[in-house]
Amino acid sequence: MNIDHWLQNNTFHYSSFWDFRHLLEAKEEQNLTISLCIPTLNEEKTIGKEIVIFKSELMSRYPLLDEIAVIDSGSTDNTRDVAASFGADVYLADNILPEVGSKRGKGENLWKAIYQLKGDIIVYVDADIKNIHPRFAYGLLAPLVYRPEIKYVKAFYDRPLAFSQGIRPSGGGRVTEILVRPLFSLFFPELTAIVQPLSGEYAVRREVLEAIPFPIGYGVETSHLIDVYNKWGMEAFGQTDLDQRVHRNQATRDLGKMAFGILQTFLLRTKALGLMPEIPDLNSTLRQFQVKEGNFEQVEYHIVEEERPPMMEIPAYRKKFHPGQ
């Protein structure tokens, strides 16, 4: 397809959706339910403000959201208590679908949320956003309400990097520009139209979420884009400009671990799709170096991008959401 045409027709700015009354009418006409999911791990400093803002504006004032839920990975701080005190539904990921066991990773939380939450649309928003605003939810759900053919809406924004002299006007998205965008350019050129493929904010129809697998770790967003593209094409995607997102920036060493996990997922996806069928078994050890007392020493990380199957393959899910099938 023509990328310029897609960018013109499927890229939005959150300010276009300022009319909450009209958005609410469109939601109610379609009898849609919408859930907000905030995956957490030790986010006591920011989670309360997020819940207050979303609940006051998008539940109490304009009931665009039918539930606000925190899916927690096992925080050791007060994240769950804070979230509950401000009115969110709080779930521990380990307690959801206990029969399938527990794994560690953000993707695990996102996957289990599909079972736990009731919405026809699920909006995922990260818990560490310092400049949180209702646009992080309504800017993503609105294209799904207004455009039935769109199935998956990604956020993009300016991501400032904090320095000692203040905040630089642009930057961030380092793994995207160094790894993911070059890989998409080589193998899936149309996906390069997604401005920020690794953004943690997106809204998705249940019919999509239940049909695709979920890597439990760093590769979940990349995997989603490839699988949705393969099943439904670029026409299924939308993206919304949310202007700016201020959050905690990661060290280069941590970005290396993220890139290692994403690359594993990407290679396994290309193998499954027959694009590179001869890929051998992948090594799961990442080696980095650090200097300690004047000496270089090696640090090893064991990173395996395990994957959860499509939720539709889980009997308890089919019984809950598709009885009789």
Residues 6+ apart with CB under 8 A from 227: 212, 213, 269
Tokens of 138: 């309504």
pLDDT at 84: 97
What value, to the nearest 5°, has the Cα angle with vertex 298 and ends 296 and 303?
A: 150
Query: For residue 172, how many other CB atoms are within 10 A of its CB?
Result: 18
pLDDT at 166: 52
pLDDT at 197: 95
Q: Summarize the chain as % helix, strand, coil (round to 5).
A: 45, 20, 35
pLDDT at 12: 96
Tokens of 256: 């290396």
Residues 6+ apart with CB under 8 A from 320: 115
Q: Characterise 294 by phi-psi region: left (phi > 0), alpha (psi -120 to 50), beta (else).
A: left
Amino acid at 314: I
Residue pair 233/121 in contact (Cβ under 8 Å)? The answer is no
pLDDT at 247: 58
Residues 6+ apart with CB under 8 A from 319: none
Kindly give the confidence (pLDDT) of every residue in the chain, 325 residues in length, as a single tens digit, with 9 standing for 90 and above: 689 999 999 999 999 999 999 999 999 999 999 999 999 999 999 999 999 999 999 999 999 999 999 999 999 999 999 999 999 999 999 999 999 999 988 899 999 999 999 999 999 999 989 899 999 999 999 999 999 999 999 999 985 444 445 544 444 488 999 999 999 999 999 999 999 999 999 999 999 999 999 999 899 999 999 999 999 999 999 999 998 887 566 788 889 999 999 999 999 999 999 999 888 888 989 998 888 777 888 888 888 889 999 999 999 999 999 997 7
Architecture in CATH of 3-321 = Alpha-Beta Complex (3.90)
pLDDT at 178: 94
Residue pair 65/118 in contact (Cβ under 8 Å)? The answer is no
For residue 309, what is the DSSP state? P
